[in-house]
With several copies, the nearest count.
Chain A
Amino acid sequence: MYFIATHRELQFVLGRGGKIRVSENHSSFVPILTIDSLTAVRGYNLLFQGLNFKLQSGQFAALRGPNGTGKTTLLRMIAGFIEAETGTIEKVEEYRERGPFYLGHDHGLRASETPLSHLTDWADIHYSPRSDIPDILERVGLTLRQHVPAYSLSAGQKKRVALARALITPRLLWLLDEPASALDTAGQALLCELMKEHLDEGGAILAAIHDDLELTPDLVLDLGAFA
């Protein structure tokens, strides 16, 4: 497996480098994400330091660790929203210089948007055809609710809209922050199915999760050594 965990010498009591466990059921082709000695600081807290790992095409990495260890921070750094303190992040070149697909804690829907209007706008903004939207709505189980504004949607329904976005725009790297939360059993099965398909098509996934999904990760990146 392609992965180096460098446990650097640290000044701080807390900083002990990201602990990374690796399981061996992957099929690696292209390096999609390469992280090299990454350090994250928020406020006065060092979250992690000297983090190294590589994510290849077809691989699913699970990001684990107790609350507040920096999972969201890491995902947002990779997406490019937060600057790293030190270290480098190399991402694969996405189509048309877009960023990776990011599914955060927030659902990204404004109160008066409906699933249909949101996905239509999403398709337009990303130069994707609108014609797939009905099928996608069907797939995430929102056909009957497609005209309901977001403030009337249930928590799970909003999450499903967020998932549907991934189907409209093909991107190699998916960054998912607790993707299973608010989803019912069927929704979680759907999530795993979508993830599986994405991996089969050569994509890569880094997902922060607390509970195991049905899909077994190829690597487990545990930030919990700091807790």
Chain B
Amino acid sequence: MFSTFANPHRFLALSKWLMPLFAVLGAIIVATGWAWAFFFVPEELYQGATAKIMYIHVPAAMVSLAAYASMAVCSLLFLTLKHSIADVAAKSAAPVAAALSFICLVTGSLWGRPTWGTYWVWDARLTSMLFQLFLILGYMALRSAFQREQDAARAGAILCLVGAVNLPIIKFSVEWWNTLHQPAGFITLGGSSYAPEFYWPLWYNLIGIGLVFGALMMAAMRAEIFNRQYEAKLARMNRSAA
């Protein structure tokens, strides 16, 4: 399975139809999912209509965390196996992950205003998400500062992995903080504590955002591969011209 993706040509062939499929499916699911959430799901007992922000906020949060995790896995694969497609994947996931983190932060603070009376509190969840956004921005800045793609790849992978080592520590610091943020209840080891009328639409939206993420990431990967091929071609032309 991995070797399929390690080959750029096979990846390009596969993603050629997978990418639009994900995009279309994702768009449909997100659109219907929001419609479902906004018009058909009953209002939450205490928070009323504001809780509907959950259907953007939670999927964005979860997918962005998964996106960072996938960047870390790809970085590890790149450093150990030297498959450049793993690097392309990590690089392409970064802006999408940053955007999702940003959406999570913005929706979270907008949600925080009515429920907690403030846009921002220094709580472990919120802080760790901000931390992740900084890390991804740093990753992108570091990469863009290198002239050679190989160097950028190596440096970026190191940073991404080092950052990943810190993420669990941040996550566990929840226990030392008095936290305002809702504890995990949606997907936990002991099953979900959510009522079914909130549980299923959330799942549906999660899948939708996940598909959109997949489509965007594949599009970015394709662009990156094409760009690298183009640059290689340009290099060859340069050689023969000089």
Q: Do chains A and B touch in the complex (CB under 8 A)?
A: yes
Residues of A within 8 A of B (CB): 11-15, 41, 43-46, 144, 149, 152
Per the bound structure, the CA–CA distance linking A45 and B238 in Å amounts to: 7
Closest A residue, CB atoms, query B150? A83
Q: Which residues of B contact A (CB under 8 A)?
A: 147, 231, 234-236, 238-240, 242
The distance from the CB of B151 to the nearest CB of chain A, in whole angstroms, is 11
Within 8 Å CB of A46, what residues of B? 235, 239
Residues on A with C-beta less than 8 A from B147 are 43, 149, 152
Please provide the 5 A-B residue pairs with the shortest distance between their CB atoms, ordered closest to farther. Answer: A44-B235, A46-B239, A44-B238, A12-B239, A13-B240
Bound complex: CA of A14 vs CA of B241, how far in Å? 8
Contact of B239 among A14, A144, A149, A152 (CB under 8 A): A14
Q: Which residue of A has the minimal Cβ distance to B148?
A: A43
7 contacts between A and B (CB under 8 A): A14-B239, A14-B240, A44-B234, A44-B239, A45-B235, A144-B242, A152-B147
* A41 adjacent to B242 (CB under 8 Å): no
A13–B236 CA distance with the chains assembled, in angstroms: 10
Min CB–CB distance B238 → chain A (angstroms)? 4
Return the chain B residue nearest A49 by Cβ: B239
- The answer to whether A15 and B239 have CB atoms under 8 Å apart is yes
Q: Which residues of A contact B242 (CB under 8 A)?
A: 14, 45, 144
Min CB distance A15 to B, Å, is: 7
Determine the chain B residues whose CB is within 8 A of the CB of A13 once the complex forms. Answer: 239-240
Smallest CB separation, A130 vs chain B (Å) = 26
Contacts of A15 in B (CB 8 A): 239
Complex Cα–Cα for A45 and B236 (A) = 8
Within the complex, the shortest CB–CB distance from A59 to chain B, in Å, comes to 32
Given the complex, which residues of A lie within 8 Å of B231, measured CB to CB? Answer: 44
Contact A12 B235 (CB under 8 A): no
* Minimum CB distance partner of A148 in chain B: B147
* Whole-angstrom CA separation of A24 from B236 in the bound complex: 38
Chain B residues closer than 8 Å to A44, beta-carbon distance: 231, 234-235, 238-239
Residues of B within 8 A of A11 (CB): 236, 240
Given A14-B242, A15-B239: 18 more A-B contacts, CB < 8 Å: A11-B236, A11-B240, A12-B236, A12-B239, A13-B240, A14-B239, A14-B240, A41-B235, A43-B147, A43-B235, A44-B234, A44-B238, A45-B235, A45-B238, A45-B239, A45-B242, A46-B235, A149-B147
